[in-house]
A and B are shown apart, each in its own frame.
Chain A
Amino acid sequence: MKQLDEIQKRLLSEVADLHTVPEGAYNIRANGESAGRVSTANIEIVPRETGDGLTINIKPGTKNESVHIPVVLTQSGLSETVYNDFYIGEDADVTIVAGCGIDNCGVQDSRHDGIHRFYVGKGARIRYVEKHYGSGDGTGKRILNPGTEVYMEENSHAEMEMVQIKGVDDTTRTTTATLAAGASLVVRERLMTHGDQNAISIYKVDLNGDGSSADVVSRSVAKDDSYQKFEAVIVGSAACSGHTECDAIIMDRGRILAVPGLEANSVDAALVHEAAIGKIAGEQLTKLMTLGLTEEEAEEQIINGFLK
């Protein structure tokens, strides 16, 4: 594996909790190049012929294995679009950890657009963790536009954890999913924006098969002058159940637009949406202050808990 510098190592630990080389299959992409790649007997990682991403093949029945594909960018002005396709074989049960960290100390914008496509085979289960992080004090922006497409076959299950807590200036996240009979999708998004950041998060989930279900929950905090838009549409075209929830805390001069949407094309589709935006409840601050915390400390604890 290529030697990573200290900043790249720090980014890696932020986005993938990696301090050393991960166990199992992995590909680490640093400044547009592969800095290390390992396949295992059951998980094969191969570069796409077009050179702009990876194909990850997971054999049917693979159990308890993981794939790490983190990306780090430390070169100001670098802009890339990467396509990673995951083919998850029937009855496999795997954890996939992606994530992107950008450190931009320069004046030019750094941008990584990662398009991930998941083809989840019958009865397969995946847990997908994606963390985004930005740092660096340059005036160049740190931009991330992740696209996620999930195609789920019968009785498959996907759990997706999308986290963006700090430092990303501009992001448009688009996630689409198509579910066959008996498939289930759980999405947990956690987002915090500060400064004058912009974050747009769009979900569209099609529940096409009987017994399919989706639960899309976003918790977010908008601080300073930042702006967020959360749009979640669930389309039910069978005997299915769908739930979407946007729970947001707004602070300072932050702004949030929540647009939940439901479309039922079958009388047996049970769809629910919830959305709530508000500032931190005064009594929550008061309670923690009666325990000896300052108002600022109380605020921090409440937000940390909320985004945990």
Chain B
Amino acid sequence: MLELKNISFEVESDGADKEIIRDISLTVPDNKLVVITGPNGGGKSTLAKLIAGIEKPTSGKIILNGVDVTDMSITDRAKAGIGYAFQQPVRFKGIEVFDLIRLATGKKTSMADACEYLSAVGLCAHDYINREVNASLSGGELKRIEIASVLAKASKLSIFDEPEAGIDLWSFNNLIKVFEDMRKNIKDSSILIISHQERILNIADEICVIKEGELIMQGHKDDILPKLSGTASAVKECRKGAVDQEGGPEA
């Protein structure tokens, strides 16, 4: 379980302090898939970085399974059980896909085991396992390898920052299936996904909406989804209202 307690994050911009995250408190319970959504530039990715330890909050506490990890380094948080998939995967010269998966598992890993993680994200393992994680791979391929590395790490809390970004529509169906499978096998862990995709929102247990650095909505998927404008569910909800009006007592 992850608890964020009154997290704020400020950066200095043009000599003035700018608040990116304002007093956010939320909980990602065990065995749940939580999706954070909201407008671009609202602070979602920053919040993910604060949890992974890449940024340090200006104030507030981050508690993982009862342990205060606020002052821990990235490495110590990773060891404590936080996994983090980058929105923009990092490229390496010379490090191969197998190396990355092996490092992620943190133990001796057979080629066959490593291949399973690649297959899970819809990559033909045989074609990729010995490829370098460099610019010769497409954005979508890198993204899936990034997700595979976080699967391989098998964390208590796995964070995915916009996993759909840079993935073509065809691969996207596979990706949804990856997260559905993860949700199914979630045992004693939790998943936090930052996403704009309705299909990802649909597989969430809970949804949080962050706007302008503030948590403006939080709750069960069925309660939050209809309130999100622009989604099909919202349209349905809207239609329902219209029908109600037309079929009102005056008609």
Contact = CB atoms under 8 A, between A and B. Distances in A.
Partners in one complex: yes
Contacts of A14: none
A28 B79 CA distance: 49
A305 B94 CA distance: 4
Interface in A271-308: 281, 283-284, 286-295, 301-302, 304-308
Contacts of B106: 291-292
A247 interface: yes
Contacts of B149: 291
Nearest to A307: B94
B59 interface: no
Contacts of B99: 301, 305
A219 B90 CA distance: 20
Interface of A: 219, 247, 281, 283-284, 286-295, 301-302, 304-308
A306 to B, nearest CB: 5
A295 B75 contact: yes
Interface of B: 52, 54, 73-75, 78-79, 82-84, 86, 89-90, 92-96, 99-100, 103-104, 106, 149, 153
Contact of B74 (A290, A302, A304): A290
B48 to A, nearest CB: 11
Given A286-B54, A287-B86, A293 B93 contact: no
Contacts of A283: 86, 90
Contacts of B94: 219, 304-308
B153 A292 contact: yes
A292 B86 CA distance: 15
Contacts, number: 58
B75 A289 contact: yes
Given A294-B75, A305-B95, A308-B94, A288 B84 contact: no
Contacts of B75: 289, 292-295
Specify the main secondary structure of chain A where it touches its partner: helix
Given A290-B83, A291-B106, A291-B149, A305 B93 contact: yes
B74 A289 contact: yes
Contacts of A247: 93
Contacts of B100: 291
A301 B90 contact: no
Q: Closest 7 interchain pairs by CB?
A: A305-B94, A305-B95, A292-B78, A289-B74, A287-B90, A306-B94, A290-B84
Contacts of B90: 281, 283-284, 286-287
A219 B103 CA distance: 23
18 contacts: A283-B86, A283-B90, A286-B54, A286-B74, A286-B90, A287-B86, A289-B78, A290-B82, A291-B78, A291-B104, A291-B106, A291-B149, A292-B79, A292-B153, A294-B75, A306-B93, A307-B94, A308-B94
Contacts of A306: 93-94
A291 B73 contact: no
Contacts of A295: 75
Contacts of B54: 286, 290
A302 B153 contact: no
A290 B52 contact: yes
B75 to A, nearest CB: 5
Given A290-B74, A290-B78, A301 B103 contact: yes
Contacts of A291: 78, 100, 103-104, 106, 149, 153
A305 B79 CA distance: 23
A194 B112 CA distance: 37
